[in-house]
Amino acid sequence: MSVILYSINCPKCQAIKAQLNKNGISFIENTNISEMLDAGVKQIPTLSVDGVLLDYAGAFIWIGQQKT
């Protein structure tokens, strides 16, 4: 599974990052704006799970559904 957190290190980005770490979910953090735009990211934070983009609320839902 490929999990990428598109982040600018804002408070919401930090909250998603903390939940990913708390739940033991391995992820890559990408802060490159050009790459975000190329990936179709329209808001920050965005979590990409196997290419599916999740907004802030969707990311928290997905994280909560994962079993560690």
Question: Beta 52-54 vs 46-49: how paired, if at all?
Answer: antiparallel
pTM above 0.85, yes or no: yes
Name the class of domain 3-65.
alpha beta
In order along its 68 residues, the chain shows pLDDT tens digits of 899 999 999 999 999 999 999 999 999 999 999 999 999 999 999 999 999 999 999 999 999 999 75
The whole-angstrom separation of Cα 63 and Cα 56 is 11
Nearest to 20 by CA among 40, 4, 36: 4
Domain ranges of the chain: 3-65
Report the distance separating Cα 30 and Cα 43, nearest Å. 13
DSSP calls for 35-64: HHHHTT--SSSEEEETTEEE-HHHHHHHHH
